[in-house]
């Protein structure tokens, strides 16, 4: 990859902000304050470390904070994200299937620290589930990529169509279709289709929403809700109706299942307002009564250099 271009996408520092402009913090617990300030320092040190490594390599590179980037990423040969899974997810929203991504977990969780402060606060840091690198192995992994010794994996993404119009953003983790107010009931129906024809019964739901995840996202909110972890390279999707109201519906096998790679899910929304949330709460599209949402894994895959434990 000599002579090629690389984009260094960075998690911003302000996500760790604990002090106001006057220097006073709204956090009174000194242990929490010290923890957050240390997290910011560790993240800054990781950015500086990665930039020092890149400056020694025969590549052209540019650093950009993720909150300063909203247009599709083009004309680069590799994207390196420094942060956690959130930064990698944002990169995935701006990349097609031609540019690979390497995630660097800049602030990994320290098990001893979590145990030490378990009675005081949650000292978890970044999980970095999809991040193959930390500062400990970044240079070696980067060299392997530049020399062609390491190849990326193709991760499925979700294609969403609302009233037959494709949304420009693909979901790498999951989508949630729900009422904007979490206390309100979400009313919708759905069915699974194959070759344009229904291959499942029509399911009518009153619940708190419908979640659909990729294989990569099956270890996140889907797992927490009672789903299962899928093989990371699977092209199937997993769906789950959240908190169905009817007792009979709660035990129905139709509330949780798979959408195979050659199938799609068609959902119809029956509330006055609603949202399709894409990979969390920051990216969403509004829907209204009567809208039809089609969900499939037919989006272009995202090329990601994954941790070995996820692939093998």
Asked whether residue 254 falls in the same domain as residue 180, the answer is: yes
Asked whether residue 14 falls in the same domain as residue 70, the answer is: yes
Confirm if 295 and 264 have CB atoms less than 8 A apart. yes
Query: What pLDDT score was predicted for residue 36?
Result: 80
Asked whether residue 41 falls in the same domain as residue 147, the answer is: yes
Looking at the DSSP assignment, which residues form a beta bridge with residue 256? 240
Asked whether residue 130 falls in the same domain as residue 252, the answer is: no
Residue 169 lies in a domain: yes
Tell me the pTM.
Answer: 0.91
Strand boundaries in 84-128, DSSP class E: 101-105
Give the pLDDT means over successive 10-residue stretches in the chain (312 positions). 83 68 63 83 95 95 94 95 95 96 92 82 85 97 96 97 97 98 96 92 95 97 96 97 81 90 98 97 96 98 95 75
Asked whether residue 90 falls in the same domain as residue 185, the answer is: no
Q: Is 221 exposed, middle or buried (0-12, 13-18, 19+ CB in 10 A)?
A: middle
Give the three-state DSSP class for 299: coil
Query: What pLDDT score was predicted for residue 130?
Result: 96
Query: What pLDDT score was predicted for residue 137?
Result: 97
Number of domains in the chain: 2
Asked whether residue 13 falls in the same domain as residue 97, the answer is: yes
DSSP 18-81: -B-TTS-BS---HHHHHHHHHHHHHHHHHHHHHHHHHTTSSSEEEEEEGGG--SPP-S-SEEEE
Query: What pLDDT score was predicted for residue 270?
Result: 98
Query: What pLDDT score was predicted for residue 30?
Result: 80
Q: Which long-range contacts (CB under 8 A, 24 or more apart) does 38-47 make?
A: 39/107, 39/125, 40/13, 40/16, 42/106, 42/107, 43/11, 43/13, 43/16, 43/82, 43/83, 43/106, 43/107, 44/13, 45/135, 46/82, 46/104, 46/106, 46/107, 46/134, 46/135, 47/10, 47/82, 47/106
Asked whether residue 133 falls in the same domain as residue 192, the answer is: no
Q: Which domain holds residue 268?
A: 158-299
Asked whether residue 174 falls in the same domain as residue 293, the answer is: yes
Asked whether residue 109 falls in the same domain as residue 187, the answer is: no
**Which CATH number characterizes residue 265's domain?**
2.60.200.30
**Which CATH number characterizes residue 36's domain?**
3.40.50
């Amino acid at each position: 990859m000599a002579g090629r271009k690389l984009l260094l996408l960075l998690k911003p520092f302000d996500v760790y902000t604990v002090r106001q402009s006057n220097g006073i913090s709204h956090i009174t617990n000194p242990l929490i304050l010290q923890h957050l300030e240390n997290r910011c320092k560790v993240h800054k040190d990781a950015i500086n470390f990665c930039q020092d490594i890149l400056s020694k390599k025969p590549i052209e590179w540019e650093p950009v904070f993720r909150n300063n980037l909203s247009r599709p990423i083009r004309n680069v040969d590799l994207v390196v994200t420094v942060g956690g899974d959130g930064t990698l997810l944002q990169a995935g929203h701006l990349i097609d299937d031609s540019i690979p991504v390497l995630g660097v977990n800049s602030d990994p969780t320290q098990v001893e620290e979590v145990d030490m402060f378990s009675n005081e606060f949650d000292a978890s840091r970044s999980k970095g589930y999809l991040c193959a690198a930390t500062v400990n192995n970044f240079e070696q992994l980067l060299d392997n990529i530049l020399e062609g010794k390491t190849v990326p994996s193709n991760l499925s993404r979700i294609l969403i169509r609302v009233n037959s119009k494709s949304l420009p953003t693909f979901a790498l983790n999951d989508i949630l279709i729900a009422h904007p107010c979490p206390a309100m009931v979400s009313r919708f129906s759905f069915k699974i289709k194959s070759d344009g024809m229904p291959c499942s019964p029509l399911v009518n739901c009153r619940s708190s929403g419908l979640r659909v995840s990729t294989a990569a996202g099956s270890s996140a909110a889907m797992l927490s809700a009672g789903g299962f972890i899928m093989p990371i390279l699977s092209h199937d999707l997993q769906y789950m109706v959240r908190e169905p109201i009817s007792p009979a519906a709660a035990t129905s096998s139709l509330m949780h299942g798979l959408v195979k790679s050659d199938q799609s899910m068609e959902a119809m929304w029956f509330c006055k307002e609603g949202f399709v949330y894409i990979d969390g709460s920051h990216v969403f599209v509004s829907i209204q009564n009567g809208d039809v949402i089609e969900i499939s894994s037919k989006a272009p895959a995202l090329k990601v250099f994954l941790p070995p434990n996820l692939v093998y």
